Structure 1
Amino acid sequence: MRWIVPAFIVAIALAAVVPAAVAEEFPSHAVRIIVPYAAGGPSDTGARLVVDGLSRELGKPVVIENRGGGGGLNGTEAFLAGELDGHTMLLGGIAPLTIIPWSKKVSYVAERDFVPIGTVWRSAQTLVVRPTLGVKTMAEFIAYAKANPAKVTIGSAGIGTVSHLGSELLQREAGIKLVHVPFRSTSESMPMLIGGQIDGLFGDAASVAPQVRAGKVIAIGVAAPQRSPALPDTPTIGEAGYPTVEAEGWHGLVVSSKTPPENVKRLRDALSAVQNDPGYQARLRQQGATAGQFGPEALARLIHTDSEKWGAIIKAANIKMD
């Protein structure tokens, strides 16, 4: 006996299959990047430099949502309360992923709850001093600080920021004692340095570069493995004999560890394609920054090593953050 399958049954069967196939497509709608800081800063710039390329590679719009507050903590924790399938990425930063958890109770463990996609911004902290201090090199600064213990004042962007921790690291490695003067930002501390109210400060290389070029301050050391594209003539602190003094602000895209592996791979492949574009690399250099080593493994190492390094500094210096 021949069975004739009615057309409507075939249609129903196909209808059941097609949505399943569509559901497997990723991304199926716009992708968000939560930037846990206000618009206009380095983190926001780093994210916006990859947006157009990611949209092209993923075939869907990629939009940025700024959620500032709490030094990046508010937006980071809000991300974990949202969709965790990869349609929302987080711009993970050095502070909420490696510094804040050492002094505040947070709802996550960075290496457990986040999966790295890739680094999009790295910019070294740079030690700059007032011209009237009378030092022009890191060696001269160290000698001056040793001759004047607990008298040299160093500004930062706030207690527990990477600019503060960089100065603590330098003190430990060079055997000197400085006086920390916290401000709310480098833009707030820089006028105090130019005016001679403080002796020096650690600040983001791209942020301090205009004042260095104008001759208002002297850059004496970049706290990174390589010289900064923002200050190519300024030696690294490692070149002065302190290779372990590295303090870089960085940001990278991460997703939840609950994201399906195939979606993680799709996002990683898309970011890789964007970052291998010479145009993207040129735009990043124009900002005085780099992305360091490309790929998720490099970001995973950053999260792990910086967490251990800054955790040790915070404990040793008994740093308390509000």
Structure 2
Amino acid sequence: MGVGGERQDEAAAAGAVARLGDVFRRFFDSDLWHSFTRSPVVVVSALVTLAVVGAALFAPLIAPHNPFDLASIDLLDSEIPPVWLDGGDPRFLLGTDAEGRDILSTIIYGARISLGVGFASVLFAMVLGVGLGLLSGYLGGTVDAVIMRIADVQLTFPAILIALLIDGLSRAVLPRDLHGDIWFTVLVLAIGLSFWVQYARTVRGSAMVERGKEYVQAARVIGVPPLLIMLRHVLPNVMGPVLVIATINLAIAVITEATLSFLGVGVPATSPSLGTLIRVGNDFLFSGSWWITIFPGAALAILVLAVNLLGDWLRDALNPKLR
């Protein structure tokens, strides 16, 4: 009995490995992979994005210094120029800021915060927008009219203005003692609520097309509940455009967070993001310490450009008319 059980486990494991190998084989033989590999710009963009995301995830292991460890910061090391300039220190490759923190380390940790806010806000906007879009497109009628009128009203305001409004309202309503603890949640809500309309309108149009197809009609006939039809049948067929929007919105979310932080209403100074680093370094830009703001700004520009290029490629690759 024991030997038979072991053989069954080995057979199940071998079958799982074989299925996984088939998945990878189909992926590497797909048009998507071929489109990716034949574009050097897209490959470089993917490598840059992976490098930034990897550095952000493993910041404690990769960063030369910990900018949040006050015991390791020395004010005598403040405003040291990059290592290739006169007065540079090999300990600080890109120089230091006015507080003696290593610029390279602050960029790595700052990217961690910026990407965290960006990913969370995009995920929140995607869940909210896709859910409302499915309800609007599948149910129609009054539900569709109400959701779309709300979306139309929100589209009349710039996303950054909506984010500023939500952030300001949260600061006015919530006690001051909580501002330093819930900044992440407030930023995610502020940015996410300014982006959900794009997902809702896209999914609504696709859901209106899918609900009239035969497979949805067949599911209705056999008595499948509307919620299961939306989640099991309609949702998988509308996810292509959603992934494209999410990729592009990630770059916009990072820019929005940087803008809010630059204006002083985003990430607190104790947890600097790339936007906060640019705002702090801007005070020293014309005093000769240009590296304090230039290097975080360059890191932000490179990250956003790489993500945008990936989004453009994904949009073209998933569009059958452009194949």
> So what's the TM-score if we normalise by structure 2?
0.25
Name the structure where helix makes up a greater proportion of residues.
2
> So what's the TM-score if we normalise by structure 1?
0.25
Higher relative contact order (Cα pairs below 8 Å, separated by 6+ residues): 1
